Amino acid sequence: MIDGIFQFIDENTYLLLGIIKAVVIASALLGVVPLLVWLERRLMGRFQVRLGPNRVGPYGLGQPISDSIKLLFKESIIQNSADKFLFHLAPVVVVFTAIVSFAVIPMTGPFELFGEKMGLWASNINSGILFVFAISGMGIYGMVLAGLSSNNKYSLMGGLRSSAQMISYELTLGLAALCVIVHTGSLNLVDMVERQNSWPNALNLLNPPLMIAFVLFFIAGIAETNRAPFDLPEAEQELVAGFHTEYTGMKFAMFFMGEYINMVTMSALITLMFLGGWNTYILPDWAIIGFVAFAFKVSFLLCVFIWLRSTFPRIRYDRLMTFGWKFLLPIAIVNLFLEAAIRVI
């Protein structure tokens, strides 16, 4: 009887910790989005020799708050011909899948606290990389549903473009990730980082096939997050605004919340798989130092995402698909065979 009570308490304690972790991660991701929008506008102002937001609060830091208030209270308009249920469901799917896919992202290695071993992640599952790909891939449905439910030919075309682009570049993304999986022999993201925790194995970029995999993964990651120069689903010059043409207010903002959260997730994956994760190699192996190092690497990659948007023009859609199928995909296949051959030899 007593053993059963203690077991019940332990199970509920772990459940409570899981709920707390989920709430903290979701809140942090949603809080990062306005700051990332502010950073993008400030950096693009620098890149394009203009000021950027600088009126609302010091350095324009109040601008994200004012934008959030505006979007929250802006009138939500839905045309009579739209499918109401799917119209409301689409932005929820995009944000939900973006947040859930971050649940298995580890931000530090395991550490002890009050005698218990834990880590900064919601869940550490053995097939973590597969979980991220599976859940993030479901975000495609949100964009397709948004275009389909709007009953607008421009929105429908934007949704179809999104699905074709993301499915195409997911192949390259998966094959590049397979190189790391073959190299480390594990699908667990913590194991992938632990494989890079010493100088002989530091930074998977020192391995030629993994260096190629890094370039392929990064390019495909830009396309997967619909970022310039691969932001064809939102090509306002051709499609008015793409799959979210008919959306207003907070539902409109939710699509961009999902996009920015996916940017954070993609930057975190690149950091874990190719840049050593939380390893610093020169500083003490403390959890707080590891978290700061991880955050710094992710922030740097986010700045590169913004830098690319300010540098390269949007490419034509047929060239986008040709680049993915006829250039990146064959290189990814050959590179995977090369890494497998090296492992066997």
In Å, how far are 105, 186, 262 from 127, measured between CA atoms?
A: 12, 8, 19
Q: What pLDDT is stored for residue 38 in this prediction?
A: 94
Point out which residues pair with 117 in neighbouring strands.
112
CA-based radius of gyration for the chain: 21
pLDDT band at 11 (very low <50, low <70, confident <90, very high): low
Q: What pLDDT is stored for residue 158 in this prediction?
A: 84
Longest CA pairwise span in the chain (Å): 72
pLDDT band at 6 (very low <50, low <70, confident <90, very high): very low
Mean pLDDT, range 186-202, rounded to an integer: 82
154 vs 313: CA distance, rounded Å: 21
pLDDT band at 3 (very low <50, low <70, confident <90, very high): very low
- How many distinct structural domains can be found in the chain? 1
Mean pLDDT, range 92-98, rounded to an integer: 94
Q: What pLDDT is stored for residue 322 in this prediction?
A: 93
pLDDT band at 328 (very low <50, low <70, confident <90, very high): very high
Would you say residue 304 has pLDDT above 90? yes
Mean of the per-residue pLDDT values for the chain? 87
Q: Percent of the chain having pLDDT more than 90?
A: 44
3-class SS of residue 282: coil
Mean pLDDT, range 198-223, rounded to an integer: 83
Residues listed for the chain:
345
Would you say residue 154 has pLDDT above 90? no
Q: What pLDDT is stored for residue 237 in this prediction?
A: 66
| Cα dihedral 17→23→29→30 (10° resolution) | -170
pLDDT band at 203 (very low <50, low <70, confident <90, very high): low
CA nearest neighbour of 262 among 38, 94, 26: 94
Would you say residue 9 has pLDDT above 70? no
In this prediction the pTM is 0.91
pLDDT in tens, 47-87: 988 888 888 888 899 999 999 899 888 888 888 888 899 99
CA nearest neighbour of 155 among 247, 260, 258: 247
Phi first, then psi, for residue 117 (nearest 5°) are: -90, 125
Q: What pLDDT is stored for residue 2 in this prediction?
A: 43
- Domain span holding position 313: 2-344
Query: Are 194 and 109 a contacting pair, CB within 8 Å?
Result: yes
Does 235 or 310 have the greater pLDDT score? Answer: 310
At 124, the amino acid letter reads N
Tabulate helix, strand, coil % of the chain (nearest 5): 75, 0, 25
pLDDT band at 204 (very low <50, low <70, confident <90, very high): low
Does 198 or 26 have the greater pLDDT score? Answer: 26
pLDDT in tens, 236-267: 667 677 888 889 889 999 999 999 999 999 99
Q: What pLDDT is stored for residue 19 in this prediction?
A: 82
Mean pLDDT, range 88-107, rounded to an integer: 93
